[in-house]
Amino acid sequence: METELLATVKKKANAWLNSAIDDDSKKQIRNLLANDENELIESFYRELEFGTGGLRGIMGVGTNRMNIYTVGMATQGLCNYLLKQFPNQEIKVAFAHDSRNNGRLFCESAAQICIANGLKVYLFDSLRPTPELSFAIRHLGCKSGAVITASHNPKEYNGYKVYWEDGGQIIEPHDVNIIAEVQKITSLADVKWNGNKAEIITIGEEVDKVYIEELKKLSLSPEAIKRQSQLKIVYTPIHGTGVNLVPRVLKEVGFKNIISVSEQNIPDGNFPTVHSPNPEEPAALKMAIEKAIETGADLVMATDPDADRVGIAAKNKDGVFELLNGNQTGSFLIYYLLTKWKENGKLKGKEYIVKTIVTTELIAKMAKDFKVEYFDVLTGFKYIADAIKHNEGHKTFIGGGEESYGYLAGDFVRDKDAVMSCMLIAEATAWATEQGKSIFDVLADIYIKYGFYKEKLVNLVRKGKTGAEEIQQMMDGYRKKPPMDINSSTIIKIKDYQAQKEINLITGTKESITLPKSNVLQFITADGTVVSIRPSGTEPKIKFYIGTKTELKKISDYKKVEQELDEKLNAICKDLGI
């Protein structure tokens, strides 16, 4: 006997089967109906959610999958909203895609729908980094835009990330309003599919050139680059969009020794040389590190498919290549920016830094020391972009970032930018080399001055419908019955960003959290440990961010103290049962 869910799913699948979709999609639906009820349910049990950043999901046929039809319905909803927001105006939009399978198809489909709705459309001639799409929106005077990417997700995924006229990803009120318009599109027949493809305006090198010129203006140590021009840098785009622009900007600022990983220079949505194209995962940098050892290189950098995140490796005190986590890279980069802004006489009292609430507190401590204002924002680079927009014309943005390997300097891009980050990380490495120091030497200096901060991220993957329910049950459990201590250190403060309340368990006082509502919990203990828990907004995961700190009195204690912190982080994980 069919369950109610299966009956509903079959009804939806048959509705698609009897609509004007392509023959291959119909064949796939028939196969699911006949042979695979579980996959049928996963493909049709809900509409792929157009969330606060757009769409992201597994590619395939069905309402809960990324395909030209779900992309089309989302685009029609976006068009309807734009037409309401900007009546009787020329509405320009820009589109880009990365190297993922179906990227060009989804992009062209969305572009044609916009044309059919009377919008003026710019489309890059081939794959481009996400940050360049953010730049292009502002450069071309667009009202909106989108990039087809699933960032660092596995090859099965694709996504549709929407931007507003400021070049930042959509936030309130536009996100919820666009979602409402998308939800009104209940049938494929509601979509204007047949825009004239010939009306799409192709863009390319002319935008690349302006973007690169803006990046070069961010350079703070041109003389250091000149003297360290032979610094050996291994760079890999991991089959993605950084393949041309990252080596290009490195060469244009003066680095002459860029070494590529030839097998990974080929744009390929199957990412054949890695299990996952995520620079947060050590395996993604394996080939690049091997190339660095082979060539005697000084620095390794790897960007994800849409080139908004960067992972790096450098030689540690033993001369062995060691990966930096996102907090270490961010701390190194922000320290470099603050130091050079001060040395160059650019700190006038109105500058600021932005980080996310789950990113290391070390960055906040450095900003305070340099007497530079800093802001904490919710997880997601769109909130950093919003802080830049809010302070535009009043204060000067130096830089910012998040622990998930995304960084930004300057304000002409409004999303994390790995092309920019690669340039600045290479420059900061040249600056350190000038002083006879490695990246890890600079980090040691930072730790001695501000404290040794160490962080760990644990992801628990829970896939599908049951996984989403389990993740929510875990969050509900932590809210209803929070732990009293973590690793024998008493919890003194709880921050619930969904309830927008901060509770001091010592004094019993409560304070309001002014940031927007978000499904995040933070537990702060007496010894300074911070544990943040949140469901991922883009993947079937619940994330645990753990940060702790201690003193580092002298360089010779570095390894010992680091080991102690690692042991403490592992003990915290054990205590939390993760």
Q: Which residues are catalytic?
A: 151
DSSP code, position 23: H
Buried b (16+ CB within 10 A) or exposed e, 506-528: eeeeeeebebeebbbbbbbbeee
State the maximum Cα–Cα separation within the chain, in Å, rounded to a whole number. Answer: 76
3-class DSSP assignment, residue 438: coil
Provide the 8-state DSSP code for 516. P
d(CA 168, CA 142): 12
Instruction: Please state, in angstroms and rounded to a whole number, the distance separating the CA atoms of residues 551 and 339.
Output: 22
| DSSP three-state, residue 261 | coil
CA–CA distance from 449 to each of 253, 274, 554, 555 (Å)? 31, 38, 10, 11
Question: Which amino acid is located at 254 in the chain?
Answer: G
**Rounded CA separation 268/98 (Å):** 10
List C-alpha distances in Å: 340 to 334, 427, 541: 10, 11, 38
Contact 515, 501 (CB under 8 A): no
What is the residue-wise DSSP string for 114-178? HHHTT-EEEEESS---HHHHHHHHHHTT-SEEEEE--TTS-TTEEEEEEEETTSSBP-TTHHHHH
Return the SS3 of 497: coil
Q: Residue 237 gets which letter from DSSP?
A: -
What Å distances lie between residue 273 and 242, 304, 426, CA to CA?
16, 13, 25
**How would DSSP label each residue in 355-404?**
EETTS-THHHHHHHHTT-EEEEE-SSHHHHHHHHHHHTTTSEEEEEEETT
Spatial distance between the Cα atoms of 409 and 425, rounded to a whole number of angstroms: 11
Contact by Cβ (8 Å): 519, 533: no
Q: Measure CA 414 to chain center.
A: 12
- The span from the CA of 137 to the CA of 121, in Å, is 11
Residue 11, token pair as written in the block: 């009804």
